[in-house]
Amino acid sequence: MENNKLQTQQLPKSISDSVLQRVTQFREAGELRLPPDYSPENALKAAHLVLLETKNKDGKLALEVCSKESIANALLKMIVLGLSVMKKQCDFIVRGTQLCCDPEYTGNIALAMRYGGLKHHKGNAIFNGDDFKFEVGVDGRRKLIHHKQDLASIGGDVIGAYVTYELEDGTQDMEIMNINQIRNSWLQGAAKGGSIAHKNFTDQMAIKTVYNRMTKLLIRASNDAPLMGDNGSDDNEQKPDVVSEAKQEVLNKANAEEIAFEDIPNEAPQAATEPEPAQQQEAPAQSTNSQTEIPY
């Protein structure tokens, strides 16, 4: 029994090493580029710790119920997106025998700032009793006119939420949702808006929902220019903003299909060495490490 426990503890290290090796191969072949401020080594070490505590809805460890391939693909997706599970930018969710990596709203903000040109942003909840006014300009963009609150209204019934933001090119806009839209959005999730966080911190969960809507278009309409920028090497000059077919295949597989990691051992090794640093259907079962606290 102790041996099985030891193997379970060593399993994420074994899979992490295999994922890091595969990521290194992709990068050396020029098939994958990561942001210069992102360390896949650090992200995988942090994910190792999180995986040891990740459980399904029945309290069983993800390492015991999830396939090794799904764990490897969840880690790979985290790396390809350039996110950190330790920072709550993404979350490991157990769905049956599959481990999934789902971006959190903080991860969507990070992606929008990294790829979508997001420069400044601020989200607020609108409470019953607030003096709130906005307008829609001739260009179709929303603009906040004023939002006046007092202590009496803060913490009351939430009637909506909004996010004002500015892009790198100077464009200013605003995303706003009323409480009915927000609750309809919550109904699409596993908790259906009925979690403790939704009930006790409605204002923060509402802001989180509006952030997800705001960042969605910025992320999906973005390109890889930040990854292809000139760093002083001739390589970047010879390869303009073009995403290779191989890299696109990696991105597609990381977000859709499973990638077979044939080098993952069937049994966890008794002694694992540190990896060399690289050069730069049923209802979903949510894991217990999912972000249920207030989304700050």
**Are residues 118 and 199 both part of a single domain?**
yes
Last residue of a domain, one of 84, 103, 122: 103
Read off the pLDDT of residues 245-254 as tens digits, 9 standing for 90 and up.
Answer: 444 444 454 4
Last residue of a domain, one of 178, 196, 225: 225
Read off the pLDDT of residues 136-157 as tens digits, 9 standing for 90 and up.
Answer: 999 999 999 999 999 999 999 9
**Are residues 96 and 112 both part of a single domain?**
no
Confidence of residue 31 (pLDDT cuts 50, 70, 90): confident
Closest CA to 48 of 270, 272, 292: 272
Last residue of a domain, one of 206, 225, 244: 225
**Domain assignment of residue 246, yes or no:** no
**Domain assignment of residue 2, yes or no:** no
pLDDT attached to residue 244:
41
**Are residues 80 and 147 both part of a single domain?**
no
**Are residues 92 and 125 both part of a single domain?**
no
**Are residues 196 and 94 both part of a single domain?**
no
**Are residues 118 and 196 both part of a single domain?**
yes
Instruction: State how far the Cα of 42 lies from the Cα of 56, in Å rounded to an integer.
Output: 25
**Are residues 220 and 144 both part of a single domain?**
yes
**Domain assignment of residue 282, yes or no:** no
Instruction: State how far the Cα of 250 lies from the Cα of 41, in Å rounded to an integer.
Output: 19
Confidence of residue 43 (pLDDT cuts 50, 70, 90): very high
Instruction: State how far the Cα of 118 lies from the Cα of 271, in Å rounded to an integer.
Output: 45
pLDDT value at 68 more than 60: yes
Q: Look at the chain and report how many structural domains it folds into.
A: 2
Read off the pLDDT of residues 77-124 as tens digits, 9 standing for 90 and up.
Answer: 999 999 999 999 999 999 999 999 999 999 999 999 999 999 999 999
Residue 256 has phi, psi (to 5 degrees) of -130, -65
Structural domain span for residue 37: 10-103
**Domain assignment of residue 249, yes or no:** no
pLDDT attached to residue 276:
40
pTM: 0.73
**Measured torsion, CA atoms of residues 70, 73, 78, 79, in degrees rounded to the nearest 10:** 150
pLDDT attached to residue 45:
93
**Domain assignment of residue 135, yes or no:** yes
Bigger pLDDT: 280 vs 105: 105
**Domain assignment of residue 281, yes or no:** no
Confidence of residue 9 (pLDDT cuts 50, 70, 90): low
**Are residues 47 and 127 both part of a single domain?**
no
**Domain assignment of residue 268, yes or no:** no
- Long-range contacts formed by 230-238: CB under 8 A, 24+ apart: 231/36
pLDDT attached to residue 81:
93
**Are residues 15 and 97 both part of a single domain?**
yes
**Are residues 14 and 48 both part of a single domain?**
yes
**Domain assignment of residue 242, yes or no:** no
